[in-house]
Amino acid sequence: MALTNNQTVLDWIDEMAAMTQPEHIVWIDGSDAQMEELRAQACATGELEKLNQEKLPGCYLHRTAANDVARVEGRTFICCRKQEDAGPTNNWMAPEEMYARLRRLYTGAMKGRTMYVIPYSMGVVGSPFAKYGIELTDSIYVVLNMAIMTRVGRDAARRLEDDFVKGLHATADNDPENRYIVHFPEDNTIMSVNSGYGGNVLLGKKCFALRIASHLGRQQGWMAEHMLILGVENPQGEVRYLAAAFPSACGKTNLAMLIPPEHYRKAGWKVWCVGDDIAWLRIGEDGRLWAMNPEYGFFGVAPGTNVKSNPNALATTRQDTIFTNVVHNLDDNTVWWEGLDKNPPEHAVDWQGRPWNGKTSSEKGAHPNSRFTAPAKNCPCISPEFENPQGVPISAIVFGGRRARTAPLVYQSRDWAHGVFVGSIMASETTAAATGAVGVVRRDPMAMLPFIGYNVGDYWQHWLDMGKTVANPPLIFNVNWFRKDKDGNFIWPGFGDNMRVLDWILRRAKGKAEGQKTVLGVSPTYDELDKTGIDYSEEQFNANMALNPSEWKAELESQTELFDKVGKKLPAELEEQRQILIKSFS
Ligand code: SAT
Ligand code: MN
């Protein structure tokens, strides 16, 4: 039974069904009974494996095809009428040409299969800032993941209007040569075919909440960003919120769920997680920037997650979680991944379903981009504001990448426009979250390179314009937890100790830390950084903060390439900022 009587919605579903020709059509109402039934079906076909229900209640394991383990940026398209509107950082094809190509791939793709109709909301249902969509899919795995990652079912269906976001996913032959992740921002439409992996198929996430939403945000005066949102509560009980942008697999989930060092905790400091991946930012009536997390769960990287690095994430995954491409421990029917503990199972199956002995195998058991899909409400430090339809006010924006060299631990930009420049020149070493080489430095402006749904030059202009409209803009910072010393060791301890940097950032936001001027902006003095309980000498600090002119010259050269590509859409203000920086290093 259809869960809406909106004719536009129903007509579109009919049209997609006529093309894909499923045997059955099932509406997802989001009820426990329906989810349980789908899990049972998926277990019967082997799509899911039910894990030890005493140790991991409600948890399941799934493996994707070996050639289908990460986002495929080379096959991700923005199809708008004018190529210029997609810009130099997106793949583009004319919409009619792409529709025709996809039509061939979708025709009959669901023959003999069931098409699930998933109505969902990005954001708290009924919030003035929520947006609604439908994903059609022939994959139960996608349904179950969407039900964790977004708010699915009747309440979302009731809100569907003519402007709903249309999403069609068909597994088809899972053929990597015909894999496409396509966005038609002018039609509010997303089409995904020949993949079964996370960001390629959970269409509410990167496709809707970033690529389509960034396009909508530009038109409507708000922003969709690849940012975690966290709240820092001080001993007086006041909570201040930060939004922080890092590329995929650079520790957003860890930072969002940070546990402060012991002496902070004893003094009464707490960190609350509002979101770990996506923030929708808008200007509030009070003239501040407000952020809300449109998601409902976490799609986190498993390897490296452990009781030390992120106990909150680990606790979050102990129930009602779907694990993808991790090790299956056959001894007790649980899961394992590299970096979970020092005790890999001997009697196990690796991410490709092959017998695996963690004690003797030289190969990794879990895929480096293996994931957990877990409900946000499982998280021990989930913010009491997580379900607030208004979101939270933001005191500081933080940009960061994974840089072994060049980028200092932390600095504050001089003002909003300079902060936008700082975001625009971001770079990071690539990770396993996308297919391709790992560890290569690439420009990744605002950590949005693969997610900006329109021309990057227009996107930067939108950032600059937002700063002119917001009366009390948050301060903008840059951080790098990953700088290494000459011997290749990380200089900064990272993880929970990142609290010390957040502390300085928030003191700056309150005007309580003087800092020192550098050519990049304002940095902490050694004394301003809390070092209680860690060994972090002034020498290490200096190495961590050093600005090496020859490295920065090379940096600016590589950065120039992106600015040159943007061409006439490059905002003049950013070019001015660039000239200032070039001068300061020459
Ligand atoms: O694959 S996802 O896009 O969902 C995760 C990520 O790359 O950040
Ligand atoms: Mn992400």
Cβ < 6 A, ligand 1 pocket: 71, 198-199, 205-206, 248, 299, 433
Mutate which of 76, 122, 205 for ligand 1? The one with the most ligand atoms within 8 Å of its CB, which is 205
Q: In which band, very low, low, confident or very high, does the pLDDT at 205 lie, cut at 50, 70 and 90?
A: very high
Q: Residue 517 Cα, ligand 2 centroid: separation in angstroms?
A: 32
Query: What pairs with residue 399 in β-bridges?
Result: 245, 478
How many angstroms separate the Cα of 574 from the Cα of each of 149, 152, 231, 586?
Answer: 36, 41, 30, 19
Burial of 154 (0-12, 13-18, 19+ CB in 10 A): middle
Given this model, what pLDDT does residue 221 score? 98
Query: Distance (Å, rounded) from C-alpha 156 to C-alpha 133?
Result: 8
Q: Residue 486 Cα, ligand 1 centroid: separation in angstroms?
A: 32
Q: Over 90: is that where the pLDDT of 249 sits? A: no
Structure tokens at 390: 């208004």
Given this model, what pLDDT does residue 1 score? 85
∠ Cα 122 125 131 (to 5°): 40
Q: What is the mean pLDDT of the chain?
A: 97
What percentage of the chain carries pLDDT values higher than 90? 99
Given this model, what pLDDT does residue 530 score? 98
- What pTM value is reported for the model? 0.98
Q: In which band, very low, low, confident or very high, does the pLDDT at 230 lie, cut at 50, 70 and 90?
A: very high
For range 373-392, the mean pLDDT: 98
Mutate which of 142, 206, 402 for ligand 1? The one with the most ligand atoms within 8 Å of its CB, which is 206
Ligand 1 atom 4: residue of nearest CA: 199
Q: What is the pLDDT of residues 328-380, one digit of tens each?
A: 999 999 999 999 999 999 999 999 999 999 999 999 999 999 999 999 999 99
Pairing of strands 270-275, 279-283: unpaired
Mutate which of 64, 68, 71, 192 for ligand 1? The one with the most ligand atoms within 8 Å of its CB, which is 71
Q: What is the pLDDT of residues 316-330, one digit of tens each?
A: 999 999 999 999 999
Q: What is the pLDDT of residues 15-63, one digit of tens each?
A: 999 999 999 999 999 999 999 999 999 999 999 999 999 999 999 999 9
What percentage of the chain carries pLDDT values higher than 70? 100
Query: Distance (Å, rounded) from C-alpha 580 to C-alpha 414?
Result: 12
Q: In which band, very low, low, confident or very high, does the pLDDT at 416 lie, cut at 50, 70 and 90?
A: very high
Note if 273 is an active site residue: no
Catalytic residue, from 250, 273, 379, 381: name it. Answer: 250
Q: Residue 543 Cα, ligand 1 centroid: separation in angstroms?
A: 32
**SS3 call for 102:** helix
Given this model, what pLDDT does residue 319 score? 98
Q: Residue 445 Cα, ligand 2 centroid: separation in angstroms?
A: 14
For range 231-259, the mean pLDDT: 96
CB atoms within 10 A of CB 287: 12
Q: Residue 467 Cα, ligand 1 centroid: separation in angstroms?
A: 28
Among the bound ligands, the one closest to the CA of 433: 1
Q: Which atom of ligand 1 is nearest to the CA of 202?
A: 4
Q: Over 90: is that where the pLDDT of 70 sits? A: yes
Asked whether the beta carbons of 276 and 375 are under 8 A apart, the reply is: no
Pairing of strands 289-292, 279-283: antiparallel
Structure tokens at 452: 């900006």
Given this model, what pLDDT does residue 447 score? 97
For residue 212, what is the DSSP state? I
Given this model, what pLDDT does residue 348 score? 98
Given this model, what pLDDT does residue 223 score? 98
Given this model, what pLDDT does residue 586 score? 83
Query: Distance (Å, rounded) from C-alpha 89 to C-alpha 457?
Result: 10
Nearest Cα to 205, choosing from 132, 123, 278?
278
Distance of CA 566 to the CA centre of its chain: 24
Alpha helices in 277-411 (DSSP H): 311-316
Asked whether the beta carbons of 327 and 351 are under 8 A apart, the reply is: yes
For range 293-304, the mean pLDDT: 97
Nearest Cα to 392, choosing from 248, 503, 286?
286
